[in-house]
Chains A and B, each alone.
Chain A
Amino acid sequence: MRRVDEDFSQELQQHLEMLTEENLRRGMTFEEARRTAKVRLGGMTQLRETHRELHGWLAFESFFQDVRYALRTLRKGPGFTLVCVLTLGLGIGASTAIFSVVNAVLLRPLPYPNHERLVRIEERHPGSGALGASFLFANATYANFNDLERDAKAIENISAFREWKFNLTGDGEPEQVAGALVSGNFFAALGSKPALGRMIAGEDDAPGADNRVTVLSYALWQRHFGADSGIVGRTLQINAENYRVLGVMPRGFDYPERSELWCPLVPHGQFRDNRRAHLLTVIADLRAEQTLGNAQGEIVALGERIEKQHRTDDPDMALAAVSLKKSMVAPVQPALMVLVFAVGLLMVMACANLANLLLARAAGREKEYSLRAALGAGRGRLARQLLTECLMLALPGAALGLGIAAWSLQFIVALDSRDLPRFADIRVDWRVLGFALLVSCFSALLFGLAPALSSTKTDLNASLKAGAAASPGGTRRGSSRALVVPQFALAVVLLVGAGLLGNSFVRLLRVNPGFSQNSVLTIGLFLSPTEYPERDVKSAVLLQQMLASVRSIAGVRSAGLVTALPITGGASTDFVIEGRPLPPANDEPSADIRSVDASYFRTMGIPLLAGREFTDADNANGKRVMVINETMARQYWPRENPLGQVVTMKDWGPPLTGEIVGVVGDVKTNGLDEAVGPMIYWPYFQFPQLFNTLVVRSDGDLFRLVPAVKAAIWAVNKNQAISKIETLEQVLSASLARRRLYMILLGVFAGAALLLASVGIYGVVSYSVNQRTQEMGIRIAVGAERGDVLRLVLGQGARAALLGIAAGIAAALVLTRLMASLLFGVSATDPLTFLEVATLLTLVALSASYIPARRAMRVDPMVALRHE
């Protein structure tokens, strides 16, 4: 408005000057000329005032006219309005939700001050390229970390951490919390600042210094210590030792992986020079003025040098630098990209539907436009009014979409999912809101403007004279039918994608995990490393007592012990078979290892295939024995009896040699979708470990058993921390959480796409029936069977749909390959899925066309002919 005012003042000023000049030419004096000019122009202030009012009022008035008119028109066609708003809402809602997830997980920077410079140094080994395996092998040995810290020049704050569990005892119920052992400069690398006190820094991790210090997360401080402001300096019992609290991190800081507690990573003796245990995650900051490329070059060269020096310990090792964020999101990126793609398709479909509806309507209202144009409405004015109408649709559509987005985000976040990185950060934020508004306004403008412009080009006389029946909408009808084709094509792509994921999921559920998953409760037990030094038989004695205590509970059928549950992964080792030639250093066979008690196999329902299970006699004093799984037996002794063979395990401290006494069935080790590898089981007395899980089989309600189990454990050791109480079914289900999430999301998209496609084809066919009422009447009048009319209309819809389906199948054949890594047990071009989708869509197309087709069939020829 101010600009308009200034413009006008300038304009008046010019006018005054010109009048003055005219007067001067007539021979007046300057004074006189000026005065006369002012009189002839009129009072400047008053003119400005009137101008402002007029300008504002007219703009205002015509806007409100438009809004009123739009609302009236929309009310007159509630079905049309509803479908448009729903279509927009669906499109906007789905895209906003997915955009929020992508924004939180992939786009938003890591919440650490140094996020732009943070890199992770990964170890690479041959064969670790596959998704699952790369994480196990990306971790570094302490020796490599030392070498990096000493020699790397392009990076600074080179730090290492190891995810760890801590038993917190002394205050209230013992609690196990997740956290990390971190090197002195870990916090410096991230650049984060504490909320209270100080962080672990500099020399806190030096052997011999005061290492018994700890930093708490904000959440732990709130939950376990009631936000005690005097917490700094207090002494806590962590893993049965006294630790002094240094500080508390700010709210939300939980790196790595929802950590709640951090203690120094102290490199004692052997550990420091270890080149075989790949346990550390190494992160660092790029130095100022260094690029990732520079660092990468240096790190790779360094890796090559180290590999040459230590080939016997760690053959074929290579180092690489990647941005920390990239390494964090790498596992979910492909799936998220598929979702983004899917939501893009859905949005396109929603827009196409909207365009279709608006185009069809524009054609139906041609007469109205012509009339208004004839009455003097300018083309711009008409277009503006149509745009107002579209915005009246877009705004509620956007509101509905945001509602849908907020609701589905709640749903997505509730669904899961601990193993999506940065998942807690997902929310609808203002950028997402902006995105939704942009999309809705853009689609409204685009699809409002196109019909508006084409309709205002109408030749007034022609369309006024032509009347309603023979509207010149032929090309437009063609173009709206043409929109059905891509809609069906897109629906095919989405449905095939969802179908393939669904098929994969069903197949996964049918996979035999190798154990019986019903009626088993699992309880995590982590023994304190100070009370029970690693490999000390004392820990096994304690566990034996706890097992006996748990077994005595009424309702417990059996109870067993294992170092890591199936499905959840676990430790592995290289091994050597006695009496066979030594394999080359980089090609030693490897197997997963677990320590179990005598009743583990029975409790889990893992079948014994040959030999015997462990007994209580397989204790610390007994002969070293092991049980192997079927895969190991088949792989290494295909034509011999594995029983009696002797195997040496190499990677866990001093080599441990034992005789194979039994073979049990395979269980899925790393997930239902991962192949099973060789597995070695040790009796827990012969290979005691600190991380253990109790498995309890009972016929009753498992969760009713929990208090009794806890009490039984605490009766043996009142300071024993307990973590992760889950049923075996929950463990299995959690392992499928990510897949379930993707399947549900893509399934929802596909459902929405189906809905949009059917609304689209219904709209087009029913519109064309309306337009051709007269033609149908004539056909029937001159003797067409009603069945012929039905076939004519159905055929018209079906042809467009079939064309779309064919195009969609062609596109899907190419596109589903992108999601191959998400599939299990079905190929990306699974013919059955394709066939099902094509059939489903054909049926949908036919039934959506059938309703208007029936109407066409019932046309009364007399009524239709008299229609004009």
Chain B
Amino acid sequence: MAEGKSEILQGTLDLMVLKTLAAMGPLHGYGIARRIEQISEEALQINQGTIYASLVRLMQRGWISGAWGASDNNRKAKFYSITRAGRKRLASEAENWERISGVIGRVLRIAERG
């Protein structure tokens, strides 16, 4: 991976996929990957294939569902959308994330002050 583009944790990617689907509505795999890259202002350039492992996990847990449909230029593509359980999960995970990242941030700042 090129420098400046961080490796991302598995769980984090799942969370981002959920958030993306919650915000954008049904999307196909490429759309999700593109959207995550755009939002992160290309800082996070993922190996787009890894998105699919995330999608499988989320499907298995029933947080998203997938169905074949037609894309913008009338191509057959598989669209994913978030389920109600997914939304609940997203809410609690996001809260969790903010709390943890807040804590980590504080810890890091303390460390800097040394």
Residues of A bordering B, CB below 8 Å: 7-8, 10-12, 14-15, 17-19, 22, 40-44, 46-47, 50-51, 54-55, 58-59, 62, 376, 378-381
Contact = CB atoms under 8 A, between A and B. Distances in A.
Interface stretch (B71-79, B97-105, B106-114): B71-79
B85 A15 contact: no
Nearest to A22: B34
A388 to B, nearest CB: 15
A521 B5 CA distance: 105
Given A42-B48, A50-B53, A376-B92, A14 B60 contact: no
B62 interface: yes
Given A11-B78, A18-B30, A376-B92, A51 B48 contact: no
**9 closest pairs, A vs B, by CB?**
A42-B49, A378-B62, A378-B85, A18-B30, A58-B60, A47-B49, A42-B47, A15-B30, A380-B62
Contacts of B28: 11, 14-15, 18
Interface string B22-45: 000000111001100000000001
B50 A15 contact: no
Interface of B: 28-30, 33-34, 45, 47-50, 52-53, 56-57, 60-63, 71, 75-78, 83, 85, 88-89, 92
A47 B56 CA distance: 12
B85 A379 contact: yes
Contacts of A8: 52
Contacts of A40: 45, 47-48
A58 B63 contact: no
B56 A41 contact: no
B44 to A, nearest CB: 13
A51 B53 contact: yes
15 contacts: A7-B78, A10-B76, A11-B52, A14-B71, A15-B28, A15-B30, A19-B30, A40-B48, A42-B50, A46-B49, A47-B52, A54-B53, A58-B56, A376-B88, A376-B89
A14 B30 contact: yes
Given A40-B48, A54-B53, A14 B76 contact: yes
A41 B78 contact: no
A19 B89 CA distance: 30
Contacts of B29: 11, 14-15
A46 B53 CA distance: 12
Contacts of A50: 53
Contact of B62 (A18, A42, A46, A381): A381
Given A42-B50, A51-B56, A378 B61 contact: yes
B50 A14 contact: no
Contacts of A14: 28-30, 71, 75-78
A42 B60 CA distance: 23
- Is chain A's binding surface mostly helix, strand, loop or mixed? helix
Contact of B60 (A44, A47, A59): A59
Nearest to A42: B49
Contacts of A10: 76
Given A15-B28, A46-B49, A51-B56, 17 more contacts: A10-B76, A11-B28, A11-B77, A14-B29, A14-B76, A14-B77, A14-B78, A15-B29, A17-B75, A18-B28, A18-B71, A19-B48, A47-B49, A54-B53, A58-B56, A376-B88, A378-B85
Give the interface centre of A18, A41, A376 by most chain B CB atoms within 10 Å: A18
A55 B92 CA distance: 25
A381 B61 contact: yes
Contacts of A46: 49
Nearest to A21: B73
Nearest to B34: A22
B57 A58 contact: yes
Nearest to A44: B49
Contact of B57 (A12, A54, A376): A54
A62 B85 contact: no
A42 B45 CA distance: 12
Nearest to A19: B30
Contacts of B78: 7, 11, 14
Contacts of A54: 53, 56-57
A669 to B, nearest CB: 74
Contacts of A51: 52-53, 56
B67 to A, nearest CB: 11
Nearest to B47: A42
A380 B53 CA distance: 21
Contacts of A43: 49
Contact of A55 (B56, B62, B88): B56
Contacts of B56: 51, 54-55, 58
Contacts of B53: 50-51, 54
B60 A62 contact: yes
A868 B89 CA distance: 31
A51 B54 CA distance: 10
Contacts of A378: 61-63, 83, 85
Contacts of A19: 30, 48
Nearest to A16: B30
From A8, A41, A51, name the one whose CB has the most chain B CB atoms within 10 angstroms.
A41
A37 to B, nearest CB: 9
B46 to A, nearest CB: 9
A376 to B, nearest CB: 6
A85 B18 CA distance: 42
A645 B71 CA distance: 107
A46 B47 CA distance: 13
A376 B48 CA distance: 28
Contacts of B76: 10, 14
A55 B58 CA distance: 11
Nearest to A11: B78
A608 B87 CA distance: 97
A10 B29 CA distance: 12
A41 B85 CA distance: 29
Nearest to A383: B62
A7 B57 CA distance: 16
Contacts of B85: 378-380
Contacts of A15: 28-30, 33, 48
Contacts of B49: 12, 41-44, 46-47
